[in-house]
Structure 1
Amino acid sequence: MGEAVTGGMIARAVEPGTGESRRGDGACLNCGTVLIGGYCHNCGQSGHVHRTLTAWWHDLVHGVLHLDGKIWRTLPLLAWKPGELTRRYVEGERARFVSPIAMFLFSVFLMFAVFSMVGGPFSAEETATDRPEAVQELRKEQTDAREKLGALRAERERLEAAGESTTTIDRDITEAERELNVREQAGRIFVPGYEEAAPAVPDAETRAIQSDMETGWSAFDAVLGKVSKNPSLMAYKIQTNAYKFSWALIPISVPFVWLLFFHRRRYREYRAYDHTVFVTYSIAFMSLGLIALSLLRVLGFGDNVVNLLMVFIPPIHIYRQLKGAYRLSRRSALWRTFALIMFAFIAGSLFLSLLVTAGAVA
């Protein structure tokens, strides 16, 4: 919850109380200037000062959630008419709505707070530790892979003693070592206490496998080495760094939106700022959507319902936002929706690469 409150406070600092004026009476309690509105035109202090405990809690909720009007004007448009919200904000209607960056900050912080409390929208049954039969199956696959590797090594010794060529079986041994290593890594990620319960690949074999994975690019090989050495630690670092670097999704995604319009002169009136507003509002909605799906799962909605919503809602929202924000025809918005979905997967892969690199460097 601290993360959610932190995000709200940051969003509030970015998005001050514009468009939320009240009528003021008397003089400013800070500088003595006669009030002519809800705020002092000389020093900027609010003309409405609280001195009750109830008012303190009101200020907390108000500062975190903007519950005095702007949030209720922004959320319905963001959910159902995102294109209209984007266009109106870009064209200068700013005071009525929560700004894109404020909405983004709060939604991302709240999303990770909800995930930490109730889990994400994805099924909790996907982990091997929740299914004993899956752990047993993994153990069996590891045993079979070790037996296969042992048989291949014994055969290689026989061929070498007989003076026959070992080129083919050497390739088979390398492939078997790689297969065993994959299953060992899966055990380290999904099975608690795996290191104590299962024998590890001998050091010499591990070095050979890691050497086989090297690309020749020292910086990239260093990252791969850290990932293969301790994948569970890397997964933890990625999870903890995700919200810290979530802002990077915006500059990663904006060029892809620009690619959808640069080839047509009629769309060159739209600037990088316009695309940035589009992307920021879109990511904010997706974050809020993941929060809603997580809560639906907690309330008992089945996996089929949640997965169905997860598949269909994002494309529909992207279509409506493209069509409204850029004043597109249905056909033009449709093909750009499919293109943007593919670009989203590329942007997500780049973002994941950034998290992996940041986790390996840290």
Structure 2
Amino acid sequence: MNGVGEGIGAAIEGGILSRAVEPSRGEATGAPPATSECLNCGAMVTGPYCGECGQKAHVHRSLAAIGHDIMHGVLHLDGKLWNTLPLLTFKPGQLTRRYIEGERAKFVSPMAMFLFSVFAMFAVFQMVGLSVADDFAEGWANYEQDKGQPSAFTENIRKQIQTLERERASLARNDPRRIEIDNELKGLQTILDGSPLDLDDQGSIEFTATGIETLDNGLIEKWKKNPSLMLYKLQANGYKFSWLLIPLSLPFVWLMFAWRRRYKAYDHAVFVTYSLAFMSLLFIAISLISAIPGGGGWAVALFMIGAPLHLYKQLRYAYGLTQFSTTWRLTVLLLFAMPIVLLAFVLILGVLGAF
């Protein structure tokens, strides 16, 4: 499937998922119909929805209505979105605090906003050609082709290895020189192919990248054999398991407010989810700007300024912090929490791709 088609599919999938978790309350529905009987449960309906089962009073029976439902469900074009987006972009702390304190009907919920923005981000990545799997596969093929043509340097390394192996084979098993040769062989072989190695008692060379058999025979071995496929799985699982970023981030936010008991785990979850939703939208803007000729510098500037500034404003006004309290928490998030969360997320995706 080409990038545009795949991107459109991802956007539709994200819209449907976000609609599935977002209740339909608080949306504009027009003038209420006259009193009628609910076609679903038989109760009397005096408004746009049945008070017993929640079904709409007016039921459409046309192809145009099906198209409207699809567009409405996928694009989420209702009053909630337009109430949420400006606050999420410019006043994220206010949006977070208002949602936590009970203003729910007028805003898109954090999880619905997160799902839609993440899937939309990966859709835009596909459309603008940011598909790492294809690029990596081509690069890997070129690398393999070049690797089949040894240079003078690699030939020299191989000759040194052969010489040392012959010397090692001629020595007694308890000769201390064998240990020195083993260490030299490990270093030379690491230079040759970038992989840590071990030597068994017979002098044969084996890969032992981590020493953990499960990882060596599973994850690492699969990455060696087919890196392009594994990277494709990494990319595909990236948006399917993007929700893992929420539980991975929560402990760090909780620790920064552990002594402030007025803030509960739910508050932190809303904060993290809205923050991740905005970051996805920011990456959409960055990818579109970078696709414009000469837009790379503007894209970098937008990220370097927009990401920390947004996080600062959300932290300060969502939790009612002073400038100093906000600054040190922002520093901890940017320098410690985020790198750890991203590393853990990538490792999890790598493990998932091996199965």
TM-score interval, normalised by the smaller of the two chains: 0.7 to 0.9
Query: Do structure 1's residue 224 and structure 2's residue 220 form an aligned pair?
Result: yes
Secondary structure at the residue paired with 1:172? helix
| Partners of 1:322 and 1:333 within 8 A in 2 | yes
In 1, the alpha carbon distance for the partners of 2:150 and 2:267 equals 53
Aligned residue number for residue 64 of structure 1? 74
Seen in structure 2, the aligned counterparts of structure 1 residues 142 and 83 have a Cα distance that, compared at 3 Å, is: farther
The amino acid of 2:151's aligned partner reads: T
1:356 aligns to 2:350 (yes or no): yes
**Matching residue of 1:195:** none
With the length of structure 1 as denominator, give the TM-score of the two structures.
Answer: 0.80
Structure 1 segment 120-131 matched on structure 2, within 5 A: 120=130
Whole-angstrom distance in 1 between the partners of 2:117 and 2:321: 28
Task: Give unmatched runs, 5+ long, in structure 2.
Answer: 1-7, 196-203
Distance 1:47 1:135, change over 3 A: same
User: Residue type of the partner of 1:179?
Assistant: I
Partner of 2:333: 340
Q: How does 1:79-90 map to 2 (within 5 A)?
A: 79-90=89-100
Shift in Å, 1:261: 1.1
Note if 1:17 corresponds to 2:24: yes
**Do the aligned partners of 1:319 and 1:337 also contact (CA within 8 Å) in 2?**
yes
Structure 1 spans left out of the alignment, 5+ residues: 184-206
1:139 shift after superposition:
5.1
Q: Which moved more, 1:334-343 or 1:48-57?
A: 48-57
Partner of 1:143: 151
SS in 1 for 2:78: coil
1:210 and 2:207 are equivalent in the alignment: yes
Distance in 1 between residues matched to 2:33 and 2:137, nearest whole Å? 65
Q: Give the letter for the 2:279 counterpart.
A: M
Alpha-carbon spacing, 1:209–1:173, altered in 2? closer, same or farther (3 Å) = same
One-letter identity of the residue aligned with 1:83? G
**Counterpart residue identity of residue 156, structure 1:** L
Question: Any conservation in 2 of the 1:111–1:291 contact (CA below 8 Å)?
Answer: yes
Indicate if the aligned counterparts of 2:137 and 2:228 stay in contact, CA closer than 8 A: no
**Correspondent of 2:235 among 235, 239, 244:** 239
Paired residue type of 2:185: I
Q: How far did residue 346 of structure 1 move?
A: 0.3
The counterpart of 2:161, out of the listed 149, 153, 156, is: 153
1:192 maps to which residue? Answer: none
Matched, 1:172 2:184: yes
In structure 2, how many angstroms separate the alpha carbons of the residues matched to 1:238 and 1:177?
29
C-alpha separation in 2, matches of 1:74 and 1:153:
64
Contact conserved, 1:8 with 1:105, CA < 8 A, in 2?
A: yes
Distance 1:303 1:135, change over 3 A: farther
Choose the corresponding residue for 2:14, options 4, 7, 16.
7
| Counterpart AA for 2:21 | V
Contact 2:117 2:277 (8 Å CA) reproduced: yes
Structure 1 position 299, deviation (Å): 3.2
Q: Given the superposition, is the C-alpha separation of residues 128 and 176 from structure 1 closer, same or farther in structure 2, using an over 3 Å criterion? A: farther
> Aligned with 1:243: secondary structure?
helix
Question: May I ask how many residue pairs the two structures share in their alignment?
Answer: 331
Measured in 2, the distance between the counterparts of 1:142 and 1:312 equals: 46
Contact kept, 8 Å, 2:290 with 2:298, in 1: the verdict is: no
Code of the residue aligned with 1:58 in structure 2: it is H
Instruction: Give the conservation status (yes or no) of the 8 Å contact 1:121–1:293.
Output: no
2: CA distance, partners of 1:157 / 1:181: 17
CA distance in 1, matches of 2:233, 2:262: 41
Q: Give the match's secondary structure for 2:207.
A: helix
Q: Equivalents in 1 of 2:194, 2:344: separation in Å?
A: 23
Contact kept in structure 2, 1:148 and 1:176, CA below 8 Å = no
- The reply on whether 1:260 has 2:272 as its aligned counterpart is no
Displacement, 1:51? 4.8
User: How far off is 1:43 after superposition?
Assistant: 3.3
1:310 matched to 2:303: yes
Q: What residue identity is the alignment partner of 2:213?
A: S
What are the within-5 Å matches in structure 2 for residues 290-309 of structure 1? 290-309=283-302
Q: Report the counterpart of residue 277 of structure 2 in structure 1.
A: 284
For the pair 1:319 / 2:317, whether they are aligned, the reply is: no
CA–CA separation in structure 1 for the residues paired with 2:327 and 2:127: 37
The alpha carbon displacement at 1:100 in A equals 0.5
Please report how far the alpha carbon of residue 253 of structure 1 lies from its aligned counterpart in structure 2 after TM superposition: 0.7
Aligned-residue offset at 1:143: 2.3
* 1:5–1:64 contact (8 Å) kept in structure 2: yes
Classify 1:177/1:105 alpha carbon distance in 2 versus 1 (closer, same or farther; 3 Å).
same
SS at match of 2:103: coil
| 1:297 CA drift (Å) | 2.1
- Aligned counterpart, 1:191: none
- Separation in structure 1 between the aligned mates of residue 316 and residue 93 of structure 2, nearest angstrom: 6
Q: Deviations over 1:193-242 (max 9, x none)?
A: xxxxxxxxxxxxxx83513x242x33333333333333222212211211
**Deviations 1:297-342, CA, capped at 9 Å, x for gaps:** 2233422211222222111111111001100011111111111112
Indicate conservation of the 8 Å contact 1:252/1:347, yes or no: yes
| Aligned AA (1:210) | F
